[in-house]
Structures are given as structure tokens and as C-alpha cells.
Amino acid sequence: MIIKILTLFPEMFYGFLESSIIKRAQENGLLEVEYINIRDYASNKHKKVDDYPYGGGAGMVMTPQPIFDAYEYAIKDFDKGVKARTIYLTPKGTTFNQKIAVDFSAEKQLVFICGHYEGIDQRVIDTIVTDEISIGDFVLTGGELPTAIMIDAITRLLPGVLGSTESYEDESFYSGLLEYPHYTRPEDYNGLKVPKVLLSGNHKEIDRWRRKSSLEITLQRRPDLIDESKLTKLDKKLINEINNERQLK
């Protein structure tokens, strides 16, 4: 996958995107990332990239010319005839989730536009942006942090990055539920013990315990994620067990 990031602050990505799993993905040729400084493409003498909004109001707006020119540079080597999937990070966008991460991970090339100030000129959005995305109901000073979060979520889904699809298929949100608890050695730590079923070697019972734990955690913390139409007979039986156990407490 090729990712081009249009930003005023490319240095914000250096440590994050040059470490850990994302660094290895780039070293192994699974991911290519280029930072493009929008300010470098400003045509005015002082490299100014913002101006007052028409109609008045507080704050400044990023002007269209530097963004359009930076974008044209970003896509110059992309596949011809295919509109680049171009993501603008904005509180007005669709809230990012695992389903969207999976969707983006299927793309060969992505462009991220990191806005600042009061945002970017609407003509940029109308012309080149394909997806407006938010990472939550709050406002940040710019789009760099949301972009970094999205790249992390997308990259780990690329084939070969984690080594096995099992590494993410059991994780929270991938299956529609929150993930079950994990335990490791030692078996007993200061009287805190690992559940016996995980030590039994009975994989059928272990799978059952994990599914029940996922359902229970999801019911407690994110009941909105429970889709009745996708529950199996076993899921419904486990939910009944959970409800009965709650009543006994």
C-alpha cells in the first residue's frame, strides 16, 4: 500500500511511523509512506497557506491553491484512471471504526489531508476528497494525530504485516464484539489466578469461555454492538447464562 500524507507538520509523524510494526511493514515493502508539506507548494512569496473566511467569522481557513498543487504531486505516480481514495480528517466526518479500517486496507493507494485552523476551503473537499472521517466527537488542533491513528489501524490489517490473520480476527470490533480477557504466565500471581478453563487443554471449552466472555463484556460496556440478527444459537444460550448469573449475584 502507498500512503501520501498532505500536512503542514510532517515532523509529527516521524517517530510514530518509524517505529514498531509500521516501521517493519515499510522495511518489508508492504507499506510506503510519503510526507508532503503543503507549505512547500504555496505560490506566494511568504509561503502563506491560510486566509480570512469570506463572510467573516473567527479563525482562518487553509487556502485551496497549495493543497491542490500538493495533491497533484502526491498522485502523479498513482494508477491512472482510478480516482485516489482521499481522506480529509474533520469533526464533521463519518466516525472511524474497524469496518472502515478494513475497507481502507483493501486500497492500493491512499491520500490523507491534514487540516488546520478552521479547516480547508470547501472547494478542495468538493473536488478531490472522497471520504470525510472523524475519530470521535471532539476537536483537535489538526489532522495529524487522527491520520496517525488511522494509518496504524489500517496498516495492521494488510496481509503479512502481523504475520497471521488470527492476530486481529479475534480483536475487539473485528467480529462485532469486544475482545475476551487474556492471561499469561505465571499461573498464580500473588493469589491472582488464571481461570482454570484456560489451563484445561480443552479447546472446545476454551472457545466457549472466550465467546461467553466477549458477549459478557460487550453487554456490560457496549450493548449497542450486539446485533441480534447475527447471534448464533450458542450466543443466545450464552447470553441467557450471563443474564441468569447476573440475577444470582
* pTM of the full structure: 0.85
Rounded distance between C-alpha atoms, residue 243 and residue 220, angstroms: 11
Residue 168 scores a pLDDT above 60:
no
Give the mean pLDDT of the chain.
92
pLDDT, average across residues 208-235? 93
CA distance 195 to 220: 20
Q: What is the pLDDT of residue 229?
A: 81
Q: Domain 188-248: which CATH class?
A: mainly alpha
What would the pLDDT profile of 59-77 be if each residue is shown by its tens digit? 999 999 999 999 999 999 9
10 within 8 A of 41, measured Cβ to Cβ: no
Binding-site annotation, residues for S-adenosyl-L-methionine: 115, 135-140
Which of the four CATH numbers 3.40.640.10, 3.40.1280.10, 2.30.30.30, 3.40.50.11690 does domain 2-155 have? 3.40.1280.10
Q: What average pLDDT does range 27-37 have in this prediction?
A: 96
Which band of pLDDT confidence, cut at 50, 70 and 90, is reported for residue 58? confident
Q: Kindly report, residue by residue over 83-122, the tens digit of the pLDDT.
A: 899 999 999 999 999 999 999 999 999 999 999 989 999 9
Of 123, 131, 138, 155, the C-alpha closest to 16 is 155
**What Å distances lie between residue 81 and 57, 75, 77, CA to CA?**
39, 11, 12
Same fold, 2-155 and 188-248: no
pLDDT of 170 over the 70 cut: no
Task: Kindly tell me if the per-residue pLDDT of 160 is higher than 90.
Answer: yes
> Which residues participate in the annotated binding site?
115, 135-140
Q: What is the pLDDT of residues 184-195, one digit of tens each?
A: 999 999 999 999
Domain locations along the chain: 2-155, 188-248
